[in-house]
A and B are shown apart, each in its own frame.
Chain A
């Protein structure tokens, strides 16, 4: 039985549906109404409020905290400045992805780590020899995601931190609705947005205060279905969907390196001493095998295919996480060259999008591929083109209205 987060009683009361799903051992709403469309449009046009508490959260402190984190994560945490957040990967000794997450530097000896899965055992096992304390604060710390173009206005009404001056991937301590906590300009929607980190017992008060402050702005509580569409539009991969954590893979072939999963940009191979480096140096020497690409399906073909069966085109109500094989363009070959792992209709872009892992020779923009598409229980294929990822990338995501000149880059 999944557990309840600090906000369970409120979200349960707000839901007209009973659409719960298990997220990392907690009950999380999929959508608040029969359909998630209203929530999705809130994210893109006003703001959505999500209970993020099931995320695994750790506080890492001590004089070696930065060096220790730099050993475990692919980014050089020793160079992360206080007030900054880094998105990074966690690899095993063979350079295979275990998870991805964020590391926030609260002060030079205090860091906040988030991940999709619980890693306390891994973290402790590899802390030998470092002066660090690692505390799992998943239950003590609630988290809220406030995402959307109006999120800054709403949050500013109830918090003292200067949000206009807050840069993308910054974190700051402050009061929110009178409660002490942290705000980071991070998110999983590819939009302007913030994440709010507060004590478990304060969570309800802050959530309620945000709903009240957000009312004039059409703020909506949102669930995971709307989030899933938004994150695919933003081109973000999801652990367990777009790549499988190496610790859950039964075969080597199923494991992915950061490069395979489109996260190669988080890796600096020149830096020494981090877990997985040697294997990834070998990967670089031999040439990586896979690439993550964004695909856009040919709408005319989808329509034509459905009309063969006398049907109008049918779009699923939510994003789809069933992986389907990808074939080379032209339709000649029946040997898959990859798989599309997430797909969704994008209500904003009005197109059908997929995230796919393909052999590297197919990664160039404009490359045509064929993806499996099932109509009336028959497996057919549709032409898909490699397009830039993120699919949706508004300027507001990173724009800072009153930016003071930047001293050092993140």
Chain B
């Protein structure tokens, strides 16, 4: 019998390893032919991965190492761009007149981090119990450890938009752009959308050191941890149905008909897919069915791969070799890009998020809407490749002679390639009403479901998106204690 974990994304791997190390008999079922889910095969930032989880799962012994994250380069048409290090001491020289404000900002984030991290590392507060204030008060105490000034600042900027929060601190639009871009991943917002500062703070609280070797190294270490803990790992095992009997999950049926029984099932695929597609519609109370039908998960991501025959030379800084770059000169470029998302249009100028090495570059376009008017056709796919080169050209004049577009994934392609509902990489947008006790919904945020023995643990559950491992870890904890 034992536990079945559905979905071998990084959260599924974390959960399976944790459960097996806790003594459970675990089978991990992945639909695709490889593990890692969204985190497989793409060049990703891994600086959100929880160091505590890495330690608990002893990933160091599987070869996992952390390092300071690489700086991000923002080229400009005039001037010499900005190479931004997270560490204010290293960033100071580049930042010039913003250096002091940047140091202060980082200082503020460091002071807020313990409070934010404590929210991320434990279950979402249960605000439905008879004494809902108690758990909230206890969490409030963590806030009390901040100074009055910091609390006021947190309350003042939290609901504001990042554009305002950052513009009142910094002069250099490149700096504001770099910090804003980070706040917006996984959201359906522009820098001028209210409450985007809150998601910025959340992202900053999660970020730390990055994994040496990136996401592939992380996935390999997690798979190794699963293997050594005795997890039965299966790929090409796509779950079609979670079997429910008398209100309890009792196993899964794979595409192809194979039935696997289990005492408990932990789904590390999106909560909406889990409850609305994998479970028979008459097994779920209408409250949760309604909540899931209303969950927002509108994808905005496209990816373009470039093969490089020579080094990518940024005209404003020809001698610089970087691994990470962001093409956008002003935060309002990001806002205009979001306008095209909002209006379901093809974006015209693309802000680009680039990871590169000597051989190639992976370019993320974060303003390509899944809901494009007229849909994503082959012609549109071609356009994305061309737009990418055109957007790079002002900064890398030689781009057309050194780069060849080898692959374009439109949001629709990403949705089908990574088996993502709505094309949303975090199985639910990041927004204040879909976070904490509301992720993915009020009655599902503590990883249990109305179906006995069925648990939820993908990035669609608390504490949310990115490659952090926390949703899988927390869900495994709940299941393990049950």
Q: Does A297 reach chain B (CB closer than 8 Å)?
A: no
When distances are taken between beta carbons in the complex, the residues of chain A under 8 Å from B287 are: 93
Contact B247 A128 (CB under 8 A): no
Contact A125 B246 (CB under 8 A): no
Which A residues from 56 to 107 make CB contacts under 8 A with B?
A: 67, 70-71, 92-93
What is the CB-to-nearest-CB distance from B310 to chain A, in angstroms, rounded to a whole number? 53
Which residue of chain A has the shortest Cβ distance to B288 in the bound complex?
A93
Contact B281 A128 (CB under 8 A): yes
Contact A129 B247 (CB under 8 A): no
Contact B283 A126 (CB under 8 A): no
Taken residue by residue from 199 to 229, chain B's Cβ proximity to chain A (1 for < 8 Å, 0 otherwise) reads as 0000000000000000000000000000000
Pick from A273, A274, A278 the residue with the most CB of B within 10 Å: A273
Which B residues from 230 to 286 make CB contacts under 8 A with A?
A: 246-247, 276-277, 280-283, 285-286
When distances are taken between beta carbons in the complex, the residues of chain A under 8 Å from B280 are: 129, 273
Contact B286 A128 (CB under 8 A): no
**Chain A interface secondary structure, helix, strand, loop or mixed?**
loop
Q: Does A275 reach chain B (CB closer than 8 Å)?
A: yes
Q: Does B293 reach chain A (CB closer than 8 Å)?
A: yes
Which residue of chain A has the shortest Cβ distance to B289 in the bound complex?
A128
Taken residue by residue from 272 to 309, chain A's Cβ proximity to chain B (1 for < 8 Å, 0 otherwise) reads as 11110010000000000000000000000000000000
When distances are taken between beta carbons in the complex, the residues of chain A under 8 Å from B286 are: 92-93, 126, 275
Which residue of chain B has the shortest Cβ distance to A127 in the bound complex?
B281
When distances are taken between beta carbons in the complex, the residues of chain A under 8 Å from B282 are: 67, 70-71, 272-274
Query: A362–B276 Cα gap in the complex (Å)?
Result: 44
Contact A128 B293 (CB under 8 A): yes
Which A residues from 369 to 394 make CB contacts under 8 A with B?
A: none
Contact A125 B290 (CB under 8 A): yes
Contact B246 A130 (CB under 8 A): no
Which residue of chain B has the shortest Cβ distance to A130 in the bound complex?
B281
A272-B246, A272-B247 given as contacts; is B285 within 8 A of A129 (CB)?
A: no
When distances are taken between beta carbons in the complex, the residues of chain A under 8 Å from B290 are: 125
Which residue of chain B has the shortest Cβ distance to A71 in the bound complex?
B282
When distances are taken between beta carbons in the complex, the residues of chain B under 8 Å from A274 are: 282
Query: A125–B287 Cα gap in the complex (Å)?
Result: 11
Which residue of chain A has the shortest Cβ distance to B247 in the bound complex?
A272
Contact B276 A273 (CB under 8 A): no
Contact A126 B285 (CB under 8 A): no
Query: A128–B294 Cα gap in the complex (Å)?
Result: 12
What is the CB-to-nearest-CB distance from B404 to chain A, in angstroms, rounded to a whole number? 44
When distances are taken between beta carbons in the complex, the residues of chain B under 8 Å from A278 are: 285, 450
Query: A274–B283 Cα gap in the complex (Å)?
Result: 8
Query: A272–B281 Cα gap in the complex (Å)?
Result: 12
When distances are taken between beta carbons in the complex, the residues of chain A under 8 Å from B246 are: 272
Number of contacting residues on A, CB 8 A?
A: 15
Contact B289 A273 (CB under 8 A): no
Contact A93 B281 (CB under 8 A): no
Contact B293 A273 (CB under 8 A): no
What is the CB-to-nearest-CB distance from B150 to chain A, in angstroms, rounded to a whole number? 43
What is the CB-to-nearest-CB distance from A27 to chain B, in angstroms, rounded to a whole number? 35
Which residue of chain A has the shortest Cβ distance to B290 in the bound complex?
A125
Contact A71 B281 (CB under 8 A): yes
Query: A272–B450 Cα gap in the complex (Å)?
Result: 14
Contact B289 A126 (CB under 8 A): yes
Query: A44–B345 Cα gap in the complex (Å)?
Result: 68
Query: A70–B283 Cα gap in the complex (Å)?
Result: 12
Contact A93 B285 (CB under 8 A): yes
Taken residue by residue from 286 to 319, chain B's Cβ proximity to chain A (1 for < 8 Å, 0 otherwise) reads as 1101100100000000000000000000000000
Which residue of chain A has the shortest Cβ distance to B293 in the bound complex?
A128
Query: A272–B451 Cα gap in the complex (Å)?
Result: 12
When distances are taken between beta carbons in the complex, the residues of chain B under 8 Å from A130 are: 281
What is the CB-to-nearest-CB distance from A344 to chain B, in angstroms, rounded to a whole number? 37
Which residue of chain B has the shortest Cβ distance to A94 in the bound complex?
B287
Query: A46–B247 Cα gap in the complex (Å)?
Result: 52
Pick from B281, B289, B290, B293 the residue with the most CB of A within 10 Å: B281
What is the CB-to-nearest-CB distance from A226 to chain B, in angstroms, rounded to a whole number? 39
What is the CB-to-nearest-CB distance from A299 to chain B, in angstroms, rounded to a whole number? 48
When distances are taken between beta carbons in the complex, the residues of chain A under 8 Å from B277 are: 129
What is the CB-to-nearest-CB distance from B147 to chain A, in angstroms, rounded to a whole number? 45
A272-B246, A272-B247 given as contacts; is B285 within 8 A of A128 (CB)?
A: no
Pick from B285, B290, B450 the residue with the most CB of A within 10 Å: B285
Which residue of chain A has the shortest Cβ distance to B275 in the bound complex?
A129
Which residue of chain B has the shortest Cβ distance to A273 in the bound complex?
B282
Query: A67–B450 Cα gap in the complex (Å)?
Result: 20
When distances are taken between beta carbons in the complex, the residues of chain A under 8 Å from B247 are: 272
Query: A184–B285 Cα gap in the complex (Å)?
Result: 33
When distances are taken between beta carbons in the complex, the residues of chain B under 8 Å from A67 are: 282
When distances are taken between beta carbons in the complex, the residues of chain B under 8 Å from A129 are: 276-277, 280-281
Query: A52–B286 Cα gap in the complex (Å)?
Result: 32
Query: A92–B287 Cα gap in the complex (Å)?
Result: 10
Query: A278–B452 Cα gap in the complex (Å)?
Result: 13
When distances are taken between beta carbons in the complex, the residues of chain B under 8 Å from A126 are: 286, 289
Query: A273–B280 Cα gap in the complex (Å)?
Result: 9
Query: A379–B281 Cα gap in the complex (Å)?
Result: 52
Pick from B276, B280, B286, B450 the residue with the most CB of A within 10 Å: B286
Query: A130–B277 Cα gap in the complex (Å)?
Result: 10
What is the CB-to-nearest-CB distance from A79 to chain B, in angstroms, rounded to a whole number? 15
When distances are taken between beta carbons in the complex, the residues of chain B under 8 Å from A125 are: 290, 293
Contact B283 A128 (CB under 8 A): no
When distances are taken between beta carbons in the complex, the residues of chain B under 8 Å from A128 are: 276, 281, 289, 293
Which residue of chain A has the shortest Cβ distance to B287 in the bound complex?
A93
When distances are taken between beta carbons in the complex, the residues of chain A under 8 Å from B281 are: 71, 128-130
Query: A129–B289 Cα gap in the complex (Å)?
Result: 10
Query: A273–B246 Cα gap in the complex (Å)?
Result: 9
What is the CB-to-nearest-CB distance from B151 to chain A, in angstroms, rounded to a whole number? 39
Query: A128–B280 Cα gap in the complex (Å)?
Result: 10
The list of the 10 closest CB pairs from A to B, nearest first, reads: A129-B281, A273-B282, A93-B286, A71-B282, A93-B287, A275-B286, A130-B281, A93-B285, A273-B283, A126-B286
- With A125-B293, A275-B286 given, name 15 new contacts (CB 8 A): A71-B281, A71-B282, A93-B286, A125-B290, A126-B286, A128-B276, A128-B281, A128-B293, A129-B277, A129-B281, A272-B246, A272-B247, A273-B283, A275-B285, A278-B285
- The 9 sampled A-B contact pairs (Cβ below 8 Å) are A67-B282, A70-B282, A71-B281, A93-B285, A93-B286, A93-B287, A130-B281, A272-B282, A275-B285
- Chain B interface residues toward A at CB < 8 A: 246-247, 276-277, 280-283, 285-287, 289-290, 293, 450
